[in-house]
Amino acid sequence: MIGGIDSGEHYDVVVAGGGAGGVAAAVGAARAGARTLLVERGPCLGGAGTLRNVVTYCGIYTRAEPHEQVIRGVAEEVLAGLRAEGAVSKPRRYTAVTVVFDPETAKRVLDDVCARAGVEVRLHSTVLDARREDGRVVSAVLADHAGLHEVTAGAFVDASGEADLAVRAGAAVRYGNGGRVQNGSLGVRFGGVPADAEVTRDTLRAAVRAARADGVGPLISDHGLIARMPISGDVIAFVVDEGYDARDARDTSRAEAHARRQARAYLEALRTLPGCGDAYLVGTGPELGTRESRHVEARYRLSGEEVLGAARFPDAVALCGWPVEYHPGPGLPAEWHFIKDDGYYEIPFGAVCSADTANLFAAGRCMDADRVAGGSVRVMGAAFATGHAAGVAAALTADTGTAEAAGVRRELVRQDAHLPGAG
């Protein structure tokens, strides 16, 4: 141990963050031949899907009828594992099209997907620092209960959501767009709701408004996605809104405490619906579902015009079918804008490549997108797609020192990603 830091192992690729983007990145890198380490601060993989009760995979299917599945590869492998256990719904159109899944099953499925690919997973580990030399990341310092461990790698993927690795490595980042970020929501799961009880956005909205009039609170929002979960039949609701800075532990702590108070008030409102008098809280979060924080400054910034215009790119490495769903602030309705012909758009290679750090790639909501585009590309379906691309690019970079879009596209197709025109 030198200076209190244990000199650890060398990997080809290190991925920070074990959510949808991080899992896809690690699996993509490993299947491209890279020795890969996936680092996750929590006790399981899945990110928002398992740690925040955000049990919807959005963006995998288009809104048009019939719904086209545009994200495959690692995402499809995860869906197949969930389907095998009856743990995911069929695609269903709410405002846009999503699938709802059981988070406990998802934890095991994600473990299995990583194990089959040969990914080394290190849970309960936080990226504390990183070292940079000559415009490249050369190592990351991980913290766990045993102490500090430095791991080296040829390339890195930041799928942390807050772009923590990029910040520690001195890469260029920005907070939100123009300093503005979308608000977050606390996923709330209600049990004791009979299968025939009519719990929808409209019925819950009416109940919330009536509860407010009776002095029940705090109830900031009266709108949001309401869905039934597979297996349990519980109701999942994304109605508890909060504004906070996800980088700031004090501000996030305040918001989470207030969100839990809101959840109890929504339970009171729900119990007024016919048949729901015995409803109870199964779980909240436990963490807030953050929609936006830092973005890695990339070689290319995806724009809202490109998303809404169903843009195509010659260097596309990912697809997404989720419309723009921007949450401007607590209690304000989401701003929805739909993709041309309810289709999909492509994401260019440059949007996942750090602009100033040659061996750093971004996945999920910390990739580069403007205010409008960020309202779409932040979802977990898109994170699977951008993560897969970032992981393959990292593996090629670790092998040869660089990665080109054409090579990344070929490898993605070999790994069953859906990229029209590539091959």
CATH number of the domain to which 378 belongs: 3.50.50.60
3-class DSSP state of 197: coil
94 and 146 co-located in one domain? yes
Residue 423 lies in a domain: no
Looking at 249, 284, 319, the residue that finishes a domain is 284
The verdict on 206 and 175 lying in the same domain is no
Q: Which domain holds residue 125?
A: 5-179+292-414
Mean pLDDT taken over the chain? 96
Can you tell me the distance from the alpha carbon of 407 to that of 24, in angstroms, rounded to the nearest whole number? 18
Beta pairing class for 97-100 and 120-122:
unpaired
For the stretch 58-102, pLDDT in tens is 999 999 999 999 999 999 999 999 999 999 999 999 999 999 999
Judge if the upstream peptide bond of residue 218 is cis by omega within 30 degrees of 0.
Answer: yes
405 lies in the same domain as 361: yes
- Asked if residue 129 and residue 230 are part of one domain, the reply reads no
Cα–Cα nearest to 347, from 21, 7, 18, 5: 21
pTM: 0.97
Q: Do both 337 and 395 map to the same domain?
A: yes
pLDDT at 269 over 50: yes
Last residue of a domain, one of 284, 316, 342: 284
Helix (H, G, I), strand (E, B) or coil at 29: helix
Q: Output the pLDDT for position 7.
A: 78
Q: Same domain for 18 and 57?
A: yes
Out of 221, 256, 284, pick the residue that ends a domain: 284
Element (H, E) at 5: strand 5-16
Helix (H) or strand (E) holding 78: helix 74-84
Residue % of the chain over a pLDDT of 90: 97
- 288 Cβ contact list (under 8 Å, min separation 6): 52, 184, 185, 186, 242, 244, 246, 252, 255, 256, 259
Q: Does a structural domain hold residue 422?
A: no
β 316-320/92-93 pair status: unpaired
In the chain, how many domains are there?
A: 2
Q: How do residues 176-220 score in pLDDT, each as one tens digit?
A: 999 999 999 999 999 999 999 999 999 999 999 999 999 999 999
Residue % of the chain over a pLDDT of 70:
99
